[in-house]
Structure 1
Amino acid sequence: MGLDSVELVISIEDKFGIRIDDSEAEKIYTVQDFADIVFSRIAKNPTDKCLSQIVFYKIRKALKNLTLTERVIRPDMKISELFSQSELKEKWSQLRTEVGLELPDLVALDFNPELGSHVKILGIKTIKRTTPVSKGTLRQLVDWTISLNRDKLINIEKISSKYEVERIICGITEDRIGVPISEIELHHSFTNDLGID
């Protein structure tokens, strides 16, 4: 385990008020592994409260206000289906204000898909550009939004589901290692996919 991994474990231990043995920490490979261990330690009274549904309805209401559309807005709908590329920057800012929550930052590829997904240096493909947020679905936007606003939306003293633990861990991972929230998935390996040593 490298120093970045140790700092991430300590941050999550502090957030949840738990301790994870070194031997157990060495078995954590993915974001989901981490969420499973944390939830097993803190689960007391899981409920059917659905935070993702609450946030989806809030985002859907804001989208309807912004787009003035009567079309059905579904969780599997791509963000790019709601806003044209030319209006994306302005509408994204308005959506952030309307929802009253932090949203993922848009990236260069959201505005210019012709950039290509990699940056070449001396003709060698080296740096992968950040995936466009607008290519994500509303379901993903809900997950990202909850992770970014975890302190505002999730009461750490009353965790009601593993989903809430997953969102907190994704948010802390984004804060600690600097990978955009839109690129952190539960199946990602901390070392191979997210680049933590």
Structure 2
Amino acid sequence: MGLDSVELIMSVEDKFGIRIPDAECEQIYTVQDFADTVYKIISVNPTDKCLTQIIFYRIRRAFQNLNFTNKEIMSNTKISDLLSQLELKESWNLLETELRLKLPELVTLDFNPNLDSHLKFLGFRTIKRTLPVTKGTIRQLIDWTISLNFENTIDIQKITNKYEVERIISGIISENMGIPISEIELRHSITNDLGID
């Protein structure tokens, strides 16, 4: 386990007020493993509150209040189907202001989808570009928004389910390691996919 991984584990332990035994730390390979380990350690107070539903309604209302679309907004609707390419940056900023929540940062491919997905150097494909946020769905936007705003959307003292732990872990990884939230999936290997040593 490298220094970055140790720092990440310490950040998560501090955030949740827990201690993850070394033997369990050595068994954490994916983001999901990380969330499962934390979830086993913390005490959970289940409620009927559905965080994803609350954020979905806020996002839908924000789109409607800003008159971005007349289309029906469903969880599987692509973000790009709701926002005009011409005014994307301005629309994204307005949406973020209306929600009063931080949204994922838009990337180069959001503004120019015709770009190659890799940067080239001397004719060789080198660095893979960050995936466009607008190709994601409203469901993914909900997850990303909750992760980026976990301090405001989740009461860490009253965790109600594993989903909340998964969103907090994803948010901490994004914040501490500088990885765009749209690039973090639960199935990702912490070292191989996310590059955390």
Note if 1:127 corresponds to 2:127.
yes
1:184 corresponding residue in structure 2 = 184
Deviations 1:152-175 (A, max 9, x none): 111111011111100000000001
Deviations 1:72-127 (A, max 9, x none): 11010000000121121111010001111000010111000122110111222110
Structure 1 runs (4+) deviating above 2 angstroms are: 67-71
Percent identical = 66
Letter in 2 for 1:163: Y
**TM-score normalised to structure 1 length:** 0.97
Runs of at least 5 residues in structure 1 that lack an aligned partner in the other structure: none
Q: Distance in 1 between matches of 2:69 and 2:181?
A: 28
Q: Secondary structure at the match of 1:55?
A: helix
Runs of at least 5 residues in structure 2 that lack an aligned partner in the other structure: none
Instruction: For 1:48-127, list aligned pairs within 5 A.
Output: 48-67=48-67, 69-127=69-127
Q: Distance in 2 between matches of 1:20 and 1:67?
A: 47
Q: Which range is displaced more, 78-87 or 35-44?
A: 35-44
2:2 corresponding residue in structure 1 = 2
Contact 2:44–2:161 at 8 Å: present in 1 too?
Answer: no
Q: Distance in 1 between matches of 2:107 and 2:68?
A: 25
Q: How many residues are treated as equivalent by the alignment?
A: 197
2:16 corresponding residue in structure 1 = 16
1:160 corresponding residue in structure 2 = 160
Q: Secondary structure at the match of 1:115?
A: coil
1:71, distance to aligned residue in structure 2 (A): 2.8
Q: Distance in 2 between matches of 1:158 and 1:20?
A: 19
Contact 1:118–1:128 at 8 Å: present in 2 too?
Answer: yes
Instruction: Kindly report the root-mean-square deviation, in angstroms, between the aligned alpha carbons of the 2 structures.
Output: 1.0
**TM-score normalised to structure 2 length:** 0.97
Contact 1:46–1:160 at 8 Å: present in 2 too?
Answer: yes
Relative to structure 1, the CA distance from residue 173 to residue 68 in structure 2 (aligned partners, 3 Å threshold; closer, same or farther) is closer
1:141 corresponding residue in structure 2 = 141
Q: Distance in 2 between matches of 1:70 and 1:109?
A: 25
1:70, distance to aligned residue in structure 2 (A): 4.0
Letter in 1 for 2:12: I
Q: Which range is displaced more, 44-53 or 155-164?
A: 44-53
Contact 1:96–1:103 at 8 Å: present in 2 too?
Answer: yes
